[in-house]
Structure 1
Protein backbone atom coordinates (compact mmCIF):
# COMPACT_ATOMS: atom_id res chain seq x y z
CA UNK A 1 0.00 0.00 0.00
CA UNK A 2 1.35 3.41 -0.99
CA UNK A 3 2.65 5.61 1.81
CA UNK A 4 0.06 8.27 2.66
CA UNK A 5 1.00 11.87 3.37
CA UNK A 6 -0.11 11.50 7.00
CA UNK A 7 2.24 8.54 7.46
CA UNK A 8 5.11 10.36 5.75
CA UNK A 9 4.66 13.38 8.04
CA UNK A 10 4.53 11.06 11.08
CA UNK A 11 7.88 9.55 10.06
CA UNK A 12 9.33 13.00 9.42
CA UNK A 13 8.21 14.34 12.79
CA UNK A 14 9.51 11.28 14.63
CA UNK A 15 12.91 12.02 13.09
CA UNK A 16 12.88 15.85 13.17
CA UNK A 17 10.33 16.82 15.78
CA UNK A 18 8.79 20.28 15.15
CA UNK A 19 8.87 20.81 18.92
CA UNK A 20 12.65 21.21 18.57
CA UNK A 21 12.31 24.36 16.48
CA UNK A 22 13.52 27.73 17.71
CA UNK A 23 10.96 30.06 19.28
CA UNK A 24 11.09 32.43 16.27
CA UNK A 25 10.67 29.63 13.72
CA UNK A 26 7.57 28.21 12.02
CA UNK A 27 8.03 24.52 11.25
CA UNK A 28 5.34 22.04 10.31
CA UNK A 29 2.25 22.51 8.16
CA UNK A 30 2.15 25.81 6.31
CA UNK A 31 -0.90 24.81 4.24
CA UNK A 32 -2.80 21.55 4.79
CA UNK A 33 -5.65 21.41 2.25
CA UNK A 34 -7.15 18.05 3.25
CA UNK A 35 -4.63 15.75 1.55
CA UNK A 36 -3.48 13.64 4.51
CA UNK A 37 -4.88 10.33 3.23
CA UNK A 38 -3.55 10.70 -0.32
CA UNK A 39 -0.46 8.74 -1.48
CA UNK A 40 2.58 10.98 -0.96
CA UNK A 41 3.84 12.46 -4.22
CA UNK A 42 6.46 14.88 -2.98
CA UNK A 43 8.36 17.78 -4.50
CA UNK A 44 11.25 18.70 -2.17
CA UNK A 45 12.69 22.21 -2.24
CA UNK A 46 14.84 24.57 -0.23
CA UNK A 47 12.43 27.52 -0.49
CA UNK A 48 8.71 27.29 -1.34
CA UNK A 49 8.16 29.88 -4.07
CA UNK A 50 5.69 30.50 -6.86
CA UNK A 51 8.24 29.01 -9.27
CA UNK A 52 8.21 25.76 -7.28
CA UNK A 53 4.39 25.77 -7.24
CA UNK A 54 4.36 26.29 -11.02
CA UNK A 55 6.72 23.33 -11.33
CA UNK A 56 4.37 21.19 -9.22
CA UNK A 57 1.39 22.15 -11.38
CA UNK A 58 3.33 21.43 -14.58
CA UNK A 59 4.25 17.98 -13.25
CA UNK A 60 0.56 17.42 -12.61
CA UNK A 61 -0.23 18.30 -16.22
CA UNK A 62 2.37 15.72 -17.25
CA UNK A 63 0.70 13.03 -15.17
CA UNK A 64 2.53 13.15 -11.83
CA UNK A 65 0.02 13.95 -9.11
CA UNK A 66 2.13 16.18 -6.88
CA UNK A 67 0.24 16.78 -3.63
CA UNK A 68 2.98 17.85 -1.21
CA UNK A 69 5.72 20.46 -1.35
CA UNK A 70 8.24 19.59 1.37
CA UNK A 71 10.44 22.61 2.04
CA UNK A 72 13.29 23.55 4.34
CA UNK A 73 12.44 27.24 4.59
CA UNK A 74 9.01 28.19 5.94
CA UNK A 75 6.49 29.80 3.61
CA UNK A 76 4.93 31.73 6.50
CA UNK A 77 7.22 33.45 9.01
CA UNK A 78 5.03 36.32 10.17
CA UNK A 79 1.30 35.98 10.94
CA UNK A 80 -0.77 36.58 7.81
CA UNK A 81 -3.31 39.39 8.07
CA UNK A 82 -4.80 38.78 4.63
CA UNK A 83 -4.64 36.39 1.67
CA UNK A 84 -4.62 38.66 -1.36
CA UNK A 85 -3.94 38.25 -5.05
CA UNK A 86 -0.57 39.61 -6.03
CA UNK A 87 1.07 38.90 -2.69
CA UNK A 88 3.57 36.02 -3.19
CA UNK A 89 2.75 34.24 0.06
CA UNK A 90 -0.96 34.83 -0.41
CA UNK A 91 -0.78 33.47 -3.96
CA UNK A 92 1.05 30.37 -2.71
CA UNK A 93 -1.62 29.75 -0.07
CA UNK A 94 -4.47 30.25 -2.57
CA UNK A 95 -2.92 27.95 -5.16
CA UNK A 96 -2.08 25.29 -2.58
CA UNK A 97 -5.69 25.18 -1.40
CA UNK A 98 -7.18 25.42 -4.87
CA UNK A 99 -5.08 22.55 -6.22
CA UNK A 100 -4.92 20.40 -3.09
CA UNK A 101 -1.15 20.67 -2.67
CA UNK A 102 0.10 20.67 0.91
CA UNK A 103 3.11 22.75 1.97
CA UNK A 104 5.12 21.46 4.92
CA UNK A 105 8.35 22.87 6.37
CA UNK A 106 11.19 21.30 8.35
CA UNK A 107 13.57 24.12 9.29
CA UNK A 108 15.53 24.50 12.55
CA UNK A 109 14.37 21.02 13.61
CA UNK A 110 15.92 19.63 10.40
CA UNK A 111 19.13 21.59 11.05
CA UNK A 112 19.83 19.57 14.20
CA UNK A 113 19.33 15.97 13.12
CA UNK A 114 21.53 13.31 11.53
CA UNK A 115 21.41 13.77 7.75
CA UNK A 116 20.17 17.33 8.32
CA UNK A 117 21.74 20.48 6.89
CA UNK A 118 24.91 20.56 9.03
CA UNK A 119 25.40 16.81 9.10
CA UNK A 120 25.25 16.67 5.30
CA UNK A 121 27.97 19.30 5.01
CA UNK A 122 30.15 17.27 7.37
CA UNK A 123 29.62 14.18 5.22
CA UNK A 124 30.19 15.96 1.91
CA UNK A 125 33.47 17.43 3.17
CA UNK A 126 34.60 14.11 4.71
CA UNK A 127 34.84 15.29 8.32
CA UNK A 128 35.92 12.57 10.70
CA UNK A 129 34.62 12.19 14.26
CA UNK A 130 32.10 14.95 13.68
CA UNK A 131 29.92 16.19 16.52
CA UNK A 132 27.52 19.10 17.05
CA UNK A 133 29.01 22.53 17.64
CA UNK A 134 26.09 23.38 19.93
CA UNK A 135 24.46 20.18 21.25
CA UNK A 136 20.71 20.36 21.87
CA UNK A 137 20.21 16.73 22.91
CA UNK A 138 22.06 13.41 22.73
CA UNK A 139 23.97 13.29 19.44
CA UNK A 140 22.02 16.16 17.89
CA UNK A 141 22.49 19.89 17.68
CA UNK A 142 23.44 22.87 15.55
CA UNK A 143 26.49 22.75 13.30
CA UNK A 144 29.10 20.05 13.09
CA UNK A 145 32.82 20.11 13.84
CA UNK A 146 35.24 17.39 12.88
CA UNK A 147 38.72 16.45 11.74
CA UNK A 148 40.18 16.61 8.26
CA UNK A 149 42.40 13.56 7.92
CA UNK A 150 44.89 14.14 6.49
CA UNK A 151 45.11 17.86 7.06
CA UNK A 152 44.72 20.05 3.97
CA UNK A 153 45.96 23.49 3.08
CA UNK A 154 43.48 26.35 3.17
CA UNK A 155 43.66 26.51 -0.63
CA UNK A 156 42.87 22.79 -0.87
CA UNK A 157 39.95 23.26 1.50
CA UNK A 158 38.55 26.14 -0.57
CA UNK A 159 38.98 24.04 -3.72
CA UNK A 160 37.16 21.14 -2.04
CA UNK A 161 34.26 23.35 -0.97
CA UNK A 162 34.03 24.80 -4.48
CA UNK A 163 34.03 21.33 -6.04
CA UNK A 164 31.47 19.81 -3.66
CA UNK A 165 29.02 22.71 -3.23
CA UNK A 166 29.46 24.71 -6.46
CA UNK A 167 28.81 28.12 -4.88
CA UNK A 168 28.77 31.07 -7.30
CA UNK A 169 31.32 32.79 -5.09
CA UNK A 170 33.41 31.90 -2.05
CA UNK A 171 34.21 34.63 0.47
CA UNK A 172 36.83 33.96 3.10
CA UNK A 173 38.85 35.72 5.73
CA UNK A 174 42.14 37.18 4.55
CA UNK A 175 44.88 34.69 5.27
CA UNK A 176 48.60 35.33 5.36
CA UNK A 177 49.30 32.01 3.71
CA UNK A 178 46.89 29.87 1.70
CA UNK A 179 49.20 26.96 2.40
CA UNK A 180 48.41 27.00 6.12
CA UNK A 181 47.18 23.60 7.26
CA UNK A 182 43.60 23.00 8.36
CA UNK A 183 42.95 19.80 10.29
CA UNK A 184 39.74 20.78 12.12
CA UNK A 185 36.73 22.32 10.39
CA UNK A 186 33.31 23.48 11.61
CA UNK A 187 30.30 23.72 9.31
CA UNK A 188 26.76 25.06 9.59
CA UNK A 189 24.36 25.46 6.68
CA UNK A 190 22.54 28.75 6.26
CA UNK A 191 23.13 31.81 8.43
CA UNK A 192 25.59 30.64 11.07
CA UNK A 193 27.80 33.56 12.00
CA UNK A 194 26.03 33.91 15.36
CA UNK A 195 27.55 30.56 16.38
CA UNK A 196 31.13 31.82 16.01
CA UNK A 197 31.87 32.01 19.73
CA UNK A 198 30.83 28.37 20.14
CA UNK A 199 32.86 27.35 17.08
CA UNK A 200 35.97 29.05 18.50
CA UNK A 201 35.77 26.79 21.54
CA UNK A 202 35.87 23.61 19.43
CA UNK A 203 39.45 24.00 18.25
CA UNK A 204 38.40 24.48 14.62
CA UNK A 205 40.75 26.56 12.52
CA UNK A 206 38.13 27.24 9.83
CA UNK A 207 34.35 27.65 9.80
CA UNK A 208 32.12 27.18 6.76
CA UNK A 209 28.70 28.86 6.85
CA UNK A 210 26.90 31.68 5.00
CA UNK A 211 25.34 35.17 5.12
CA UNK A 212 28.32 36.63 6.99
CA UNK A 213 28.62 40.40 7.40
CA UNK A 214 31.72 42.60 7.29
CA UNK A 215 32.20 42.81 11.04
CA UNK A 216 31.58 39.08 11.45
CA UNK A 217 34.63 38.47 9.30
CA UNK A 218 36.46 40.80 11.66
CA UNK A 219 35.18 38.74 14.59
CA UNK A 220 36.37 35.57 12.89
CA UNK A 221 39.84 37.03 12.52
CA UNK A 222 39.85 38.11 16.15
CA UNK A 223 38.86 34.58 17.19
CA UNK A 224 41.63 33.06 15.00
CA UNK A 225 39.05 31.46 12.71
CA UNK A 226 39.19 31.42 8.93
CA UNK A 227 35.55 32.27 8.19
CA UNK A 228 34.31 30.88 4.86
CA UNK A 229 31.00 32.03 3.35
CA UNK A 230 29.73 29.77 0.55
CA UNK A 231 26.23 31.23 0.40
CA UNK A 232 22.91 30.17 1.89
CA UNK A 233 21.75 28.15 -1.11
CA UNK A 234 24.97 26.18 -1.60
CA UNK A 235 25.27 25.22 2.06
CA UNK A 236 21.68 23.95 2.43
CA UNK A 237 20.67 22.56 -0.96
CA UNK A 238 22.66 19.29 -0.49
CA UNK A 239 20.52 18.39 2.52
CA UNK A 240 17.38 18.79 0.39
CA UNK A 241 18.83 16.30 -2.07
CA UNK A 242 19.38 13.84 0.79
CA UNK A 243 15.83 14.50 2.02
CA UNK A 244 14.53 13.19 -1.31
CA UNK A 245 16.45 9.94 -0.73
CA UNK A 246 15.08 9.64 2.80
CA UNK A 247 11.48 10.19 1.67
CA UNK A 248 11.95 7.57 -1.02
CA UNK A 249 13.35 5.10 1.54
CA UNK A 250 10.29 5.67 3.71
CA UNK A 251 8.14 4.50 0.81
CA UNK A 252 6.78 7.61 -0.86
CA UNK A 253 5.42 6.57 -4.28
CA UNK A 254 7.12 9.55 -5.93
CA UNK A 255 9.65 12.10 -4.71
CA UNK A 256 11.91 14.49 -6.57
CA UNK A 257 14.11 17.51 -5.89
CA UNK A 258 12.75 20.73 -7.34
CA UNK A 259 14.45 22.04 -10.42
CA UNK A 260 13.14 25.54 -9.76
CA UNK A 261 14.81 26.27 -6.43
CA UNK A 262 16.49 29.63 -6.65
CA UNK A 263 19.68 31.12 -5.21
CA UNK A 264 18.18 34.66 -5.28
CA UNK A 265 21.72 36.08 -5.75
CA UNK A 266 23.97 36.47 -8.75
CA UNK A 267 27.58 37.66 -8.78
CA UNK A 268 28.76 39.88 -11.60
CA UNK A 269 31.87 38.67 -13.42
CA UNK A 270 33.18 41.03 -16.06
Structure 2
Protein backbone atom coordinates (compact mmCIF):
# COMPACT_ATOMS: atom_id res chain seq x y z
CA UNK A 1 0.00 0.00 0.00
CA UNK A 2 1.23 3.47 -0.89
CA UNK A 3 2.24 5.44 2.20
CA UNK A 4 3.15 9.04 2.96
CA UNK A 5 6.74 7.81 3.30
CA UNK A 6 6.81 6.91 -0.42
CA UNK A 7 5.78 10.43 -1.39
CA UNK A 8 8.19 11.98 1.09
CA UNK A 9 11.10 9.87 -0.21
CA UNK A 10 10.47 11.20 -3.72
CA UNK A 11 10.29 14.81 -2.49
CA UNK A 12 13.50 14.39 -0.51
CA UNK A 13 15.20 13.10 -3.65
CA UNK A 14 14.01 16.03 -5.74
CA UNK A 15 14.46 18.71 -3.07
CA UNK A 16 16.96 17.49 -0.46
CA UNK A 17 16.26 18.85 3.00
CA UNK A 18 19.97 19.53 3.33
CA UNK A 19 19.39 22.52 1.00
CA UNK A 20 17.03 24.17 3.49
CA UNK A 21 18.25 27.05 5.61
CA UNK A 22 19.24 26.17 9.18
CA UNK A 23 16.50 28.49 10.49
CA UNK A 24 13.83 26.83 8.37
CA UNK A 25 11.41 24.11 9.45
CA UNK A 26 10.87 21.62 6.65
CA UNK A 27 9.78 18.00 6.46
CA UNK A 28 6.91 16.18 8.15
CA UNK A 29 5.28 18.55 10.65
CA UNK A 30 2.09 16.68 11.52
CA UNK A 31 1.23 13.00 11.27
CA UNK A 32 3.03 9.76 10.55
CA UNK A 33 5.07 8.84 7.47
CA UNK A 34 3.74 5.27 7.71
CA UNK A 35 0.15 6.44 7.13
CA UNK A 36 -1.60 5.12 4.01
CA UNK A 37 -1.75 7.75 1.27
CA UNK A 38 -4.50 7.80 -1.33
CA UNK A 39 -5.03 11.54 -1.79
CA UNK A 40 -2.45 14.35 -1.76
CA UNK A 41 -3.18 18.08 -1.77
CA UNK A 42 -0.61 20.72 -2.70
CA UNK A 43 -0.89 24.29 -1.44
CA UNK A 44 1.20 27.40 -0.88
CA UNK A 45 0.09 28.01 2.73
CA UNK A 46 -1.96 25.87 5.10
CA UNK A 47 -4.67 28.32 6.06
CA UNK A 48 -7.86 27.44 7.92
CA UNK A 49 -9.68 27.40 4.59
CA UNK A 50 -7.08 25.07 3.07
CA UNK A 51 -7.29 22.70 6.05
CA UNK A 52 -11.10 22.65 5.89
CA UNK A 53 -10.99 21.90 2.16
CA UNK A 54 -8.49 19.09 2.73
CA UNK A 55 -10.80 17.58 5.34
CA UNK A 56 -13.77 17.85 2.97
CA UNK A 57 -11.80 16.12 0.20
CA UNK A 58 -10.56 13.36 2.55
CA UNK A 59 -6.93 14.27 1.91
CA UNK A 60 -4.28 12.05 3.49
CA UNK A 61 -1.23 14.26 2.91
CA UNK A 62 -0.82 18.00 2.40
CA UNK A 63 2.35 19.27 0.76
CA UNK A 64 2.78 22.94 1.63
CA UNK A 65 5.47 25.43 0.71
CA UNK A 66 5.17 27.61 3.81
CA UNK A 67 5.64 25.96 7.21
CA UNK A 68 2.60 25.81 9.46
CA UNK A 69 4.87 25.43 12.47
CA UNK A 70 7.79 27.80 12.10
CA UNK A 71 8.66 29.16 15.53
CA UNK A 72 8.26 26.93 18.63
CA UNK A 73 4.62 26.90 19.72
CA UNK A 74 3.85 27.77 23.34
CA UNK A 75 0.32 26.40 23.10
CA UNK A 76 -2.08 24.70 20.67
CA UNK A 77 -5.60 25.96 21.30
CA UNK A 78 -8.68 26.68 19.17
CA UNK A 79 -8.40 30.34 20.18
CA UNK A 80 -5.48 30.79 17.75
CA UNK A 81 -5.45 30.28 13.99
CA UNK A 82 -2.49 27.88 13.95
CA UNK A 83 -4.08 25.87 16.74
CA UNK A 84 -7.35 25.57 14.81
CA UNK A 85 -5.49 24.33 11.73
CA UNK A 86 -3.60 21.75 13.80
CA UNK A 87 -6.87 20.63 15.42
CA UNK A 88 -8.45 20.13 11.98
CA UNK A 89 -5.51 18.18 10.56
CA UNK A 90 -5.20 15.87 13.53
CA UNK A 91 -8.98 15.34 13.82
CA UNK A 92 -9.12 14.24 10.18
CA UNK A 93 -5.83 12.28 10.26
CA UNK A 94 -4.23 14.54 7.66
CA UNK A 95 -0.43 14.51 7.46
CA UNK A 96 1.46 17.71 6.68
CA UNK A 97 4.79 17.87 4.84
CA UNK A 98 6.60 21.16 4.23
CA UNK A 99 9.04 21.88 1.38
CA UNK A 100 10.21 25.47 1.79
CA UNK A 101 13.70 26.91 1.27
CA UNK A 102 14.95 23.59 -0.09
CA UNK A 103 12.50 24.03 -3.00
CA UNK A 104 13.50 27.69 -3.32
CA UNK A 105 17.16 26.74 -3.71
CA UNK A 106 17.01 23.43 -5.58
CA UNK A 107 17.70 23.14 -9.28
CA UNK A 108 14.36 22.51 -10.97
CA UNK A 109 12.55 24.15 -8.06
CA UNK A 110 10.52 27.27 -7.43
CA UNK A 111 12.95 29.81 -8.89
CA UNK A 112 13.14 27.83 -12.12
CA UNK A 113 9.33 27.64 -12.17
CA UNK A 114 9.14 31.41 -11.77
CA UNK A 115 11.62 32.00 -14.60
CA UNK A 116 9.74 29.59 -16.85
CA UNK A 117 6.40 31.25 -16.00
CA UNK A 118 7.87 34.51 -17.31
CA UNK A 119 9.04 32.86 -20.52
CA UNK A 120 12.74 33.45 -19.92
CA UNK A 121 15.34 31.78 -22.12
CA UNK A 122 18.83 30.49 -21.28
CA UNK A 123 18.00 30.23 -17.57
CA UNK A 124 20.93 29.84 -15.20
CA UNK A 125 21.86 30.33 -11.56
CA UNK A 126 22.10 33.95 -10.48
CA UNK A 127 25.10 32.90 -8.39
CA UNK A 128 27.51 31.33 -10.91
CA UNK A 129 29.35 29.60 -8.05
CA UNK A 130 26.22 27.65 -7.09
CA UNK A 131 26.56 24.31 -8.87
CA UNK A 132 23.35 22.65 -7.73
CA UNK A 133 21.52 25.06 -5.47
CA UNK A 134 21.02 28.71 -4.80
CA UNK A 135 18.50 31.50 -4.68
CA UNK A 136 17.72 33.40 -7.83
CA UNK A 137 17.92 32.70 -11.55
CA UNK A 138 18.92 34.84 -14.52
CA UNK A 139 17.79 34.56 -18.12
CA UNK A 140 16.69 36.69 -21.02
CA UNK A 141 13.50 37.73 -22.70
CA UNK A 142 13.03 36.69 -26.34
CA UNK A 143 13.33 40.35 -27.28
CA UNK A 144 13.87 43.70 -25.60
CA UNK A 145 10.92 45.61 -24.18
CA UNK A 146 10.39 48.62 -21.99
CA UNK A 147 10.30 48.27 -18.23
CA UNK A 148 6.65 49.37 -18.25
CA UNK A 149 5.77 46.68 -20.80
CA UNK A 150 7.61 44.04 -18.77
CA UNK A 151 5.79 45.12 -15.62
CA UNK A 152 2.43 44.72 -17.36
CA UNK A 153 3.51 41.40 -18.87
CA UNK A 154 4.67 40.13 -15.46
CA UNK A 155 1.29 40.86 -13.88
CA UNK A 156 -0.43 39.01 -16.71
CA UNK A 157 1.97 36.05 -16.75
CA UNK A 158 1.70 35.57 -12.98
CA UNK A 159 -2.05 36.26 -12.96
CA UNK A 160 -1.85 38.95 -10.28
CA UNK A 161 -3.64 42.29 -9.87
CA UNK A 162 -0.57 44.42 -10.47
CA UNK A 163 3.08 45.06 -9.67
CA UNK A 164 5.23 47.96 -8.54
CA UNK A 165 8.45 48.93 -10.25
CA UNK A 166 11.64 50.85 -9.61
CA UNK A 167 13.23 52.52 -12.64
CA UNK A 168 12.34 54.53 -15.74
CA UNK A 169 9.26 53.31 -17.55
CA UNK A 170 10.97 53.60 -20.94
CA UNK A 171 14.14 51.74 -19.90
CA UNK A 172 14.80 48.89 -22.36
CA UNK A 173 15.32 45.52 -20.68
CA UNK A 174 16.11 41.99 -21.80
CA UNK A 175 18.39 40.33 -19.20
CA UNK A 176 16.11 39.39 -16.30
CA UNK A 177 16.99 38.11 -12.83
CA UNK A 178 14.29 36.55 -10.66
CA UNK A 179 13.93 35.41 -7.09
CA UNK A 180 10.74 34.00 -5.61
CA UNK A 181 9.36 35.32 -2.33
CA UNK A 182 11.58 37.88 -0.62
CA UNK A 183 14.59 38.33 -2.87
CA UNK A 184 15.36 42.03 -2.95
CA UNK A 185 18.63 41.38 -1.09
CA UNK A 186 19.91 39.84 -4.32
CA UNK A 187 19.86 43.10 -6.26
CA UNK A 188 23.67 43.59 -6.02
CA UNK A 189 24.17 40.08 -7.47
CA UNK A 190 21.67 40.80 -10.24
CA UNK A 191 23.49 44.03 -11.09
CA UNK A 192 26.88 42.27 -11.01
CA UNK A 193 25.65 39.52 -13.37
CA UNK A 194 24.48 42.07 -15.91
CA UNK A 195 20.74 41.89 -15.37
CA UNK A 196 18.68 44.82 -16.59
CA UNK A 197 15.92 44.10 -14.09
CA UNK A 198 15.23 41.97 -11.02
CA UNK A 199 11.74 40.52 -10.53
CA UNK A 200 11.01 39.49 -6.94
CA UNK A 201 8.72 40.30 -4.00
CA UNK A 202 8.71 42.16 -0.67
CA UNK A 203 10.89 45.05 -1.85
CA UNK A 204 11.45 47.57 0.95
CA UNK A 205 11.44 51.34 0.49
CA UNK A 206 15.12 51.89 1.29
CA UNK A 207 16.13 49.03 -1.00
CA UNK A 208 14.18 50.72 -3.80
CA UNK A 209 15.98 54.01 -3.10
CA UNK A 210 19.36 52.25 -3.30
CA UNK A 211 18.45 50.50 -6.57
CA UNK A 212 17.22 53.73 -8.12
CA UNK A 213 20.78 55.07 -8.03
CA UNK A 214 22.03 52.15 -10.19
CA UNK A 215 21.45 50.99 -13.79
CA UNK A 216 19.31 48.13 -12.44
CA UNK A 217 15.50 48.19 -12.39
CA UNK A 218 13.27 46.18 -10.05
CA UNK A 219 9.75 44.82 -10.41
CA UNK A 220 8.00 43.83 -7.18
CA UNK A 221 5.43 41.17 -8.04
CA UNK A 222 4.76 40.33 -4.41
CA UNK A 223 5.63 37.37 -2.21
CA UNK A 224 2.45 35.56 -3.19
CA UNK A 225 2.70 36.42 -6.88
CA UNK A 226 6.21 35.03 -7.27
CA UNK A 227 5.36 31.78 -5.46
CA UNK A 228 1.74 31.12 -6.47
CA UNK A 229 2.78 28.53 -9.06
CA UNK A 230 4.09 26.19 -6.31
CA UNK A 231 0.90 24.09 -5.87
CA UNK A 232 0.34 23.43 -9.58
CA UNK A 233 3.99 22.77 -10.45
CA UNK A 234 4.44 20.48 -7.44
CA UNK A 235 1.30 18.60 -8.47
CA UNK A 236 2.70 18.15 -11.99
CA UNK A 237 5.84 16.52 -10.59
CA UNK A 238 3.79 14.20 -8.40
CA UNK A 239 1.53 13.23 -11.29
CA UNK A 240 4.54 12.27 -13.43
CA UNK A 241 6.07 10.22 -10.61
CA UNK A 242 2.75 8.54 -9.82
CA UNK A 243 2.33 7.57 -13.47
CA UNK A 244 5.92 6.30 -13.64
CA UNK A 245 5.58 4.15 -10.50
CA UNK A 246 1.90 3.34 -11.04
CA UNK A 247 0.87 4.81 -7.72
CA UNK A 248 -2.90 4.80 -7.11
CA UNK A 249 -2.76 8.46 -6.13
CA UNK A 250 -5.32 11.26 -6.38
CA UNK A 251 -3.72 14.73 -6.50
CA UNK A 252 -5.57 17.95 -5.67
CA UNK A 253 -4.28 21.49 -6.24
CA UNK A 254 -5.55 23.99 -3.67
CA UNK A 255 -5.76 27.45 -5.25
CA UNK A 256 -5.68 30.47 -2.96
CA UNK A 257 -7.05 33.05 -5.37
CA UNK A 258 -5.35 36.43 -5.11
CA UNK A 259 -3.50 35.79 -1.86
CA UNK A 260 -3.98 37.57 1.46
CA UNK A 261 -3.16 41.07 0.19
CA UNK A 262 -5.42 42.94 -2.22
CA UNK A 263 -4.38 45.93 -4.35
CA UNK A 264 -6.84 48.84 -4.22
CA UNK A 265 -6.61 51.20 -7.17
CA UNK A 266 -6.94 54.95 -6.70
CA UNK A 267 -10.40 56.18 -7.59
CA UNK A 268 -12.49 59.31 -7.30
CA UNK A 269 -13.43 59.86 -3.66
CA UNK A 270 -17.05 61.02 -3.43
CA UNK A 271 -16.64 62.51 0.01
CA UNK A 272 -19.00 60.05 1.72
CA UNK A 273 -17.70 58.09 4.68
CA UNK A 274 -19.03 55.86 7.42
CA UNK A 275 -16.50 57.21 9.92
Instruction: Return the TM-score normalized by structure 1.
Output: 0.90
- The alignment yields a C-alpha RMSD, in angstroms, of 1.8
Which of 134, 140, 143 lines up with 1:141 in the alignment? 134
Q: Within 2, Cα distance between the matches of 1:161 and 1:125?
A: 7
Q: Within 1, Cα distance between the matches of 2:140 and 2:232?
A: 24
Measured after TM superposition, the shift of residue 136 of structure 1 is 7.3
Superimposed CA distance per residue, residues 53-79 of structure 1 (whole angstroms, 9 cap, x where no aligned partner) = 01111223xxxxx11111000001101
Which of 194, 213, 216 lines up with 1:222 in the alignment? 213
Distance 1:197 1:240, change over 3 A: same
Matches within 5 A, 1:19-38: 19-32=18-31, 34=32, 36-38=34-36
Measured after TM superposition, the shift of residue 182 of structure 1 is 0.9
**Is the 1:136–1:142 contact (alpha carbons within 8 Å) kept by the matching residues of 2?**
no
Q: Within 1, Cα distance between the matches of 2:115 and 2:255?
A: 24
Measured after TM superposition, the shift of residue 234 of structure 1 is 1.1
Q: Does 1:212 align with 2:203?
A: yes
Q: Any gaps of 5 or more consecutive residues in structure 1?
A: 61-65
Partner of 2:46: 48
**Is the 1:173–1:227 contact (alpha carbons within 8 Å) kept by the matching residues of 2?**
yes
Secondary structure of the residue aligned to 2:112 is: helix
Superimposed CA distance per residue, residues 130-155 of structure 1 (whole angstroms, 9 cap, x where no aligned partner) = 11113674243211001223222223
Secondary structure of the residue aligned to 1:69 is: strand
Secondary structure of the residue aligned to 1:232 is: coil
Secondary structure of the residue aligned to 2:218 is: strand
Q: Within 1, Cα distance between the matches of 2:113 and 2:42?
A: 16
Q: Within 2, Cα distance between the matches of 1:140 and 1:21?
A: 10
User: How many pairs are equivalent?
Assistant: 261
Q: Any gaps of 5 or more consecutive residues in structure 2?
A: 268-275
Matches within 5 A, 1:1-270: 3-32=2-31, 34=32, 36-60=34-58, 66-134=59-127, 137-175=130-168, 178-251=169-242, 253-260=249-256, 263-269=259-265, 270=267
Q: Within 1, Cα distance between the matches of 2:129 and 2:83?
A: 34
Distance 1:80 1:94, change over 3 A: same
**Is the 2:167–2:216 contact (alpha carbons within 8 Å) kept by the matching residues of 1?**
no
Instruction: Return the TM-score normalized by structure 2.
Output: 0.89
Distance 1:261 1:114, change over 3 A: farther
**Is the 2:113–2:229 contact (alpha carbons within 8 Å) kept by the matching residues of 1?**
yes
Distance 1:135 1:21, change over 3 A: farther
Q: Within 1, Cα distance between the matches of 2:118 and 2:40?
A: 28
**Is the 1:41–1:67 contact (alpha carbons within 8 Å) kept by the matching residues of 2?**
yes
Superimposed CA distance per residue, residues 127-183 of structure 1 (whole angstroms, 9 cap, x where no aligned partner) = 2221111367424321100122322222331222122112222100141xx333212
